[in-house]
């Protein structure tokens, strides 16, 4: 195979706490480490994007407030910044993470540039861009157009590929590239973190991490956790990517005030996850659930609802336990089994870590993205010949 030239790639994503932005950030870091030039373009610096890393750049989108606009517009200023960055740095590719509005803005940017200098547009679908917004008549046709007009599309699970074909009716091929996770080395010891959290070494500590949106079903999570306490007392750490205060009354009503520990907007997640024993996820829908993979990387088996792409990540009975949606009693049984049996926990935890490292590693998935980038660039240049 001829040597592959380094690529110049613009990445646009949501910079806030959330799986799509986290994945995009990690991908950018991994690509820069492999010699590619990466330009992040967003309204804020992605929260996990490190500073002073060679070949890793950030360009902020400025948004002016005009009185005429009742609702501020982000899509157009983003498209202009994407076009400017493409022109100034000679980008080969704009990689849009999460279709709305990034895929549409990327297409506008491509159209603003002369064809011979226009970047290829690749869109990665992450979840609710298909499963929620794709069904919204105010967004669906625009998403479909953006996907049909892109140079390449990827989805983070087989489930999401099938849903995108079913819901949005996209006929073109969609490449499935699963999410990956590269854990950073924790900065503090497990004992030090447990001490900060007020959890003794003999206590079992569960962990949940999410943006707390309604589909994460925090109500079910807390109710099931409360029912476990009579049979297998344990504690629950919630790494919240949003304000947890709306759930504080539920925590108190269920008598969990001394059992639930909350930390908001944490970027050093590795420090905390290594201090836990078990992951717990109750989503109604999930295209992948990056948090489960993060837990698996630290030998935490997960109890999770059997929805969406979760069974592609967490194998029932091997790396964790899956429970049908709506079966709260099943969640309780699964938690009791794992909390009260350290041998079972260790067996599933080791298998989880092995699966995370072998199947969902950066080595595997970054190479798949690169292969896709070169393939899309080659196809596009053939079209121009
Ligand atoms: O779609 C969302 O709710 C937001 C998105 C995000 O930015 O966190 O989450 C999606 O993308 C993640 C990264 O690919 C996946 O791990 C999540 O499963 C997915 N969320 C849903 O499908 C609900």
Burial class (CB in 10 A: 0-12, 13-18, 19+), 255: exposed
> What are phi and psi for residue 3, nearest 5 degrees?
-60, 145
Q: What is the mean pLDDT of residues 258-283?
A: 96
Contact 21, 44 (CB under 8 A): no
290 Cβ below 6 A of ligand 1: yes
CA of 291, closest atom in ligand 1: 16
Q: What confidence category does residue 39 fall into, taking pLDDT thresholds of 50, 70 and 90?
A: very high
| Atom 12 of ligand 1, residue of closest alpha carbon | 19
156 Cβ below 6 A of ligand 1: yes
Residue 238 has pLDDT above 80, yes or no: yes
Contact 232, 241 (CB under 8 A): no
Contact 268, 190 (CB under 8 A): no
Could you give the percent of the chain with pLDDT greater than 90?
93
Contacts of 5 (CB under 8 A, 6+ apart): none
SS3 95: strand
Alpha carbon distance 187, 201 (integer Å): 19
| Beta bridge mates, 35 | none
Q: What is the mean pLDDT of residues 53-82?
A: 95
Nearest to 119 by CA among 173, 158, 79, 157: 79
Residue 153 has pLDDT above 90, yes or no: yes
Contacts of 89 (CB under 8 A, 6+ apart): 8, 10, 37, 39
Range(s) within the chain of domains with CATH label 3.40.50.2000:
8-180+361-383, 190-359
> What does the pLDDT read at residue 294?
97
Q: What confidence category does residue 17 fall into, taking pLDDT thresholds of 50, 70 and 90?
A: low
Q: What confidence category does residue 266 fall into, taking pLDDT thresholds of 50, 70 and 90?
A: confident
> What does the pLDDT read at residue 380?
77
288 Cβ below 6 A of ligand 1: yes
What is the whole-number distance in angstroms between the Cα of residue 114 and the centre of ligand 1? 34
> What does the pLDDT read at residue 267?
82
User: pTM of this prediction?
Assistant: 0.95
C-alpha dihedral (379, 380, 381, 385), degrees to nearest 10: 100
Q: What confidence category does residue 47 fall into, taking pLDDT thresholds of 50, 70 and 90?
A: confident
> What does the pLDDT read at residue 324?
98
304 Cβ below 6 A of ligand 1: no
> What does the pLDDT read at residue 1?
57
What fold does the segment set 190-359 form as a domain? Answer: Rossmann fold (3.40.50)
Q: What is the mean pLDDT of residues 86-107?
A: 98
Alpha carbon distance 335, 115 (integer Å): 56
| Beta bridge mates, 280 | 303
350-385 pLDDT tens trace = 999 999 999 999 999 999 999 999 999 998 776 654
Taking each helix axis as running N to C, give the angle between helix 342-359 and helix 290-297, from 0 to 180 degrees, rounded to the nearest 10.
Answer: 110
What is the whole-number distance in angstroms between the Cα of residue 174 and the centre of ligand 1? 17
Q: What is the mean pLDDT of residues 335-359?
A: 98
Nearest to 296 by CA among 271, 309, 315: 315
297 Cβ below 6 A of ligand 1: no
Alpha carbon distance 292, 133 (integer Å): 24
Alpha carbon distance 162, 279 (integer Å): 27
Could you give the percent of the chain with pLDDT greater than 70?
98
CA of 127, closest atom in ligand 1: 22
Average model confidence (pLDDT) across the chain: 96
Question: May I ask the CATH architecture of the domain 8-180+361-383?
Answer: 3-Layer(aba) Sandwich (3.40)
180-220 pLDDT tens trace = 999 999 999 999 999 999 999 999 999 999 999 999 999 99
Alpha carbon distance 240, 85 (integer Å): 33
């Amino acid at each position: 195979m001829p040597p592959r030239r380094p690529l110049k790639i613009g990445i646009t994503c949501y910079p806030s706490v959330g799986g799509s932005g986290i994945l995009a950030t990690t991908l950018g870091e991994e690509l820069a480490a492999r010699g590619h030039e990466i330009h992040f373009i967003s309204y804020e610096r992605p929260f996990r994007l490190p500073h002073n890393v060679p070949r890793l750049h950030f360009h902020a989108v400025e948004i002016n407030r005009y009185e005429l606009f009742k609702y501020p517009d982000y899509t157009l200023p983003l498209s202009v910044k994407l076009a400017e960055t493409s022109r100034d740095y000679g980008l080969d590719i704009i990689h849009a993470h999460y279709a709305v509005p990034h895929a549409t803005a990327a297409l506008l940017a491509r159209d603003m540039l002369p064809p011979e200098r226009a970047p290829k547009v690749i869109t990665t679908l992450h979840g609710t861009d298909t499963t929620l917004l794709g069904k919204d008549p105010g967004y669906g046709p625009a998403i479909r157009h953006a996907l049909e007009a892109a140079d390449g599309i990827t989805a983070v699970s087989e489930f999401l590929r099938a849903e995108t074909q079913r819901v949005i009716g996209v006929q073109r091929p969609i490449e499935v590239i699963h999410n990956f996770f590269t854990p950073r080395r924790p900065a503090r010891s497990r004992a030090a973190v447990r001490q900060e959290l007020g959890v003794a070494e003999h206590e079992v500590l569960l962990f949940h991490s999410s943006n707390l949106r309604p589909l994460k079903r925090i109500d079910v999570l807390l109710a099931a956790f409360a029912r476990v306490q009579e049979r297998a007392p344990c504690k629950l750490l919630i790494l919240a990517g949003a304000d947890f205060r709306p759930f504080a009354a539920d925590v108190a009503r269920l008598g969990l005030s001394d059992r639930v520990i909350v930390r908001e907007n944490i970027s050093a997640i590795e420090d905390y996850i290594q201090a836990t024993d078990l992951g717990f996820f109750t989503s109604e829908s999930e295209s992948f659930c990056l948090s489960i993979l993060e837990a698996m990387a630290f030998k935490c088996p997960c109890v999770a609802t059997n929805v969406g792409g979760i069974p592609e990540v967490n194998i029932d009975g091997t790396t964790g336990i899956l429970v049908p949606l709506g079966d709260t009693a099943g969640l309780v049984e699964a938690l009791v089994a794992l909390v009260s049996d350290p041998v079972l926990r260790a067996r599933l935890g080791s298998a989880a870590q092995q699966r995370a490292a072998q199947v969902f590693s950066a080595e595997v998935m970054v190479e798949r993205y690169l292969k896709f980038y070169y393939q899309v660039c080659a196809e596009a240049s053939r079209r121009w010949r």
